[in-house]
Structure 1
Amino acid sequence: MFVSVDMEGVSGLTDPEEMRAPGRGYERGCELMTADANAAVRAAYDAGADTVVVTDAHGMGRNLRADLIDRRCTLVRGPYKPMRMAEGLDASFDVALYVGYHARAGTPRGVLNHTWMGREIHNVYLNGEVAGEIRLMAAYAGTLGVPVGLVAGDQAACDEAREVLGDVATVAVKKGSDRYAAELVPPARAQEMIYEGTRRALADPARWRGCTVPAPYTLGIEWSSTAIAQSCAVIPGVKQAGPRVTEFTTSDYAEIVGLLGVCATIGGEIGCTGLHYD
């Protein structure tokens, strides 16, 4: 069983400062992220899983507490993982679970909504359709023949998951009133909900949902900056499709996921220089 854990959709968190070091509340955010992950891992083992691989899918991948994670799982952690949010996933897994996920950029009342990067990217498109991280990761799992069994996060993320995957099991741990404000389920109860939701989902494989995207795959990224778009267009195979838009087409979806990571590295370097740019 594969569990990908992001942070913006974790129970109890609403503030960008809680998402990154050394922000106020970040260390506590890491504990809450690990507790949400553990709820899903414990449910997976209680449902009969032999192996559970958990990947830290947020930022630089240094958020899940290795000293607090369920000792039975395998933890994939650290920066610059080739498959980023999907590192560790392959065709041998029966099902993928997404915990702590959030809605795509621009989603009304989506808590901490964004796609891949919060400031540098306006929108991402997959084969011409707007795509958030749920669609992007579910599509990668789909190319491997791995269905999605559960998505846990804020209410907008759960709505997006059903839009992408149909009647997939979801657990909403908060409901956004704005991008940085939400009605929260207290974490202790939210983690019980994740556990129970995961147990029910794993007991009902008929509700697991695959995401099928036809090849070839075209990834379009609408950047906030002409400088980022121009720099990413230097990557072989990437073309500039507008002043702030890049596109890349391939028959191997793993290249889509890998390219997102490379572009994010470039975008982060340019966006964080402190310079003013268009």
Structure 2
Amino acid sequence: MKVFVSVDMEGISGLTDPEEMRAGGRGYERGCELMTGDANAAIRAAFDTGADRVVVTDSHGTGKNLRADLIDERCTLIRGPSKPMRMGEGLDASFDVALYVGYHARAGAERGVLNHTWMGREIQNLYLNGEVAGEIRLMAGYAGSLGVPVGFLAGDEAACEEARGVLGDIATVAVKKGCGRYAAELIPPARAQEQIYEAATRTLRAPERWRHLTLRAPYTLAVEWNATEIAQSCSLIPGVTLTSPRTTEFTTGDYSEIVGLLGICATIAGEIGCAGRHYG
């Protein structure tokens, strides 16, 4: 069995503060250790249920958060910035199943801890084939386009609810329950990691519980940005159209282009956002 594990940070056990997600922020180094602990719980479950290869991708920010010295030595780790497929880097049709750890709810989700879509503030809404989408739908759709089912998701309670809304009766573990965007009722990390291990083990032994998200081509990605300048700049990319002063749209028959283009647009948006941060 070949298992892909995508690990984000906002949905990791024990974390609630944006400073804990940012290199140089208070608590960041400890956050990286907790992120690696949650990832290791899923990795251990994969190997204990017969996986002969586990590929893990660091899906948060610059992709340099998982501790390479603490990650389960049996896996392969993909890390670093500007990966072409970002959160899905390393996934291809040869994998049997994908697991998502540390995932969070989309922008605007009620009681979603650290909720956002792809970027902290630049993206207001993302639409995939007309359906509002967060990172969960986006990445499940990428896996589905390759014929790979999603077997499990761990994150905050709102993320787990979102995953079930996207994929149906998928196995999930809620490691925290949001009291607001930056506060949560937590399950202590040691217990949360044991729950991740146990739930991932159960689902990996029951392939009938894995879920595919199959979207029909062509695929259309619409992004509602928080600033007109971002939308206007992204619309200069060939194939991207401006459908309103703050919204861009792109259609393709290749789902990987959806993921890749969003990454490029996010890079542009980040540069513009930093230059004009006082104007939102």
Same fold (TM > 0.5): yes
| Among 149, 170, 193, the residue aligned to 1:168 | 170
Superposed counterparts of 1:23-172, under 5 Å: 23-172=25-174
The CA deviation string for residues 18-77 of structure 1, in whole angstroms up to 9 with x for no partner, is: 011111111110010000000000010000000000000001101001111000000000
Cα distance in 2 for residues equivalent to 1:254 and 1:137? 10
Specify the alignment match of 2:251 in structure 1. Answer: 249
1:156, 1:175 within 8 Å by CA — same for their partners in 2? yes
In the TM superposition, residue 146 of structure 1 has moved relative to its aligned partner by: 0.1
Cα separation, 1, equivalents of 2:184 and 2:277: 33
Q: CA RMSD in A?
A: 0.7
Under a length normalisation based on structure 1, what TM-score does the superposition of the two structures give?
A: 0.99
1:230 to 229, 232, 240: 232
State the alpha-carbon separation in 2 of the partners of residues 78 and 95 from structure 1: 23
> 1:125 and 1:20 mapped to 2: Cα distance?
27
Q: Supply the distance in 2 between the matched residues of 1:189 and 1:275 (Cα, whole angstroms).
A: 39
Q: Residue 275 of structure 2 corresponds to which residue in structure 1?
A: 273
Q: Among the aligned pairs, what percent are the same residue?
A: 78
Matched, 1:189 2:191: yes
DSSP 3-state at the match of 1:52: strand
SS at match of 1:272: helix
* In structure 1, C-alpha distance between the alignment counterparts of 2:237 and 2:18, rounded to whole Å: 30
Cα distance between partner residues in 2 of 1:201 and 1:272: 42
* AA at the equivalent of 1:228: I
Contact preservation (8 Å) 1:109, 1:176? yes
Please report how far the alpha carbon of residue 273 of structure 1 lies from its aligned counterpart in structure 2 after TM superposition.
Answer: 1.5
Helix, strand or coil: the match of 1:191?
Answer: helix
Any idea what the Cα deviations from partners look like across 1:101-157, whole Å, max 9, x if unmatched?
A: 000000000000000011100010001110000000000000000000001000000
> In structure 2, what is the equivalent of residue 206 of structure 1?
208
**Which residues of structure 2 form unaligned runs of 5+?**
none
Question: How many residues matched?
Answer: 278
| Structure 1 residue 167, shift from structure 2 partner | 0.4
* Segments of 4+ moved more than 2 angstroms: 274-278
Unaligned runs of 5+ in 1: none
